[in-house]
């Protein structure tokens, strides 16, 4: 299964959700891959403990190779296999991000390389689950991920402004589905930073459900423990497996696999 975690708003927990769901998948014995398409590299740092300085073993090299293909092909390996890093966590692998993604973007758009990631992932074997972390903006990389994925997960942080942008985001996903990827489905809206005792978050969530939007029942609470897990470069389900939030992530993963 190929899942993209996407929102055009920053700070909604995309990387945290990506890495914890992937970590649970790996703990359950599934061969799992995370692809970090965000130039900030938060998922890369979360899983490896540092950003990768050598662009020759990151997703940036894949996109550079897409630009170098000629009539006679490329002598460089244009696939993804050589870019995969093992993480410290069994069954969990990563293709890291790199700052070189930024200057490549305009050239990739001009050469219409938007389907290259999908083509490469369809050739990639050996993984049960693939999670794609995206930048907090609709750009070449997030569109590539939406085209390559089968399911889309949308983090939502219980804010009035976030609610307004959610409608635009749902329309964006619908357009990508209609134009480029008939397989793509919104698997669910993940309510993050959910304060159960506060009135406004509960009201917002109830209204989204009443509108028929696919809000998932498992919701993620706010906690400083998440920031601690970032600093430790360990997904929360490894850093604090008995913590309430780890239970919430496991409930979220279980719900996704019961749909």
At 108-166, the pLDDT tens digits run 999 999 999 999 999 999 999 999 999 999 999 999 999 999 999 999 987 767 788 89
Note the pTM of the prediction, 2 decimals. Answer: 0.94
Residue 189 near residue 213 (C-beta atoms within 8 A): yes
- Can you read off the two tokens belonging to residue 45? 């740092």
What architecture is domain 2-256? Answer: 3-Layer(aba) Sandwich (3.40)
Torsion angle of the four alpha carbons 109, 115, 118, 121, in this order, in degrees rounded to the nearest 10: -80
CB atoms inside a 10 Å sphere around CB 94:
28
- For residue 182, which phi and psi values (nearest 5 degrees)? -65, -20
Is the pLDDT confidence value at 74 over 50? no
Q: What is the mean pLDDT of residues 3-26?
A: 94
203-237 pLDDT per residue, tens: 899 999 999 999 999 999 999 999 999 999 999 99
Residues near 38 by beta carbon (within 8 Å), at least 6 away in sequence: 14, 15, 97, 133, 134, 135, 136, 141
Tokens matching residue 106: 């305009």
What average pLDDT does the chain have? 93
Please say whether the beta carbons of 152 and 3 come within 8 A. Answer: yes
Reduced to 3 states, what is the DSSP secondary structure of residue 102? helix
């Amino acid at each position: 299964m190929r899942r993209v975690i996407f929102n055009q708003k920053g700070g909604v927990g995309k990387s945290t959700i990506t890495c914890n769901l992937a970590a649970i998948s790996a703990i359950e014995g599934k061969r799992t891959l995370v692809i970090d398409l965000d130039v900030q590299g938060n998922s890369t740092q979360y899983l490896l403990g540092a950003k990768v300085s050598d662009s020759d073993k990151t997703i940036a090299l894949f996109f550079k190779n897409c630009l170098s293909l000629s009539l006679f092909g490329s002598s460089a390996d244009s696939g993804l296999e050589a870019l995969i890093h093992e993480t410290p966590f069994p069954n969990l692998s990563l293709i890291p991000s790199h700052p070189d993604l930024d200057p490549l973007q305009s050239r990739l758009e001009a050469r219409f390389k938007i389907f290259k990631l999908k083509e490469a992932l369809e050739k990639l074997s050996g993984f049960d689950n693939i999670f794609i972390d995206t930048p907090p903006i609709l750009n070449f990389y997030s569109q590539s991920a939406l085209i390559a994925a089968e399911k889309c997960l949308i983090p939502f942080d219980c804010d009035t402004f976030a609610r307004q942008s959610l409608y635009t985001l749902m329309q964006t996903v619908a357009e990508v589905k209609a134009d480029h990827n008939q397989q793509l489905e919104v698997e669910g809206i993940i309510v993050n930073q959910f304060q159960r005792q506060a009135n406004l978050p509960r009201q917002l969530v109830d209204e989204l459900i009443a509108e028929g939007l696919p809000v998932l029942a498992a919701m993620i609470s706010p906690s400083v423990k998440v920031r601690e897990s970032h600093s430790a470069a360990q997904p929360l389900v490894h850093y604090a497996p008995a913590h309430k939030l780890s239970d919430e992530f496991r409930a979220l993963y279980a719900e996704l696999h019961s749909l």
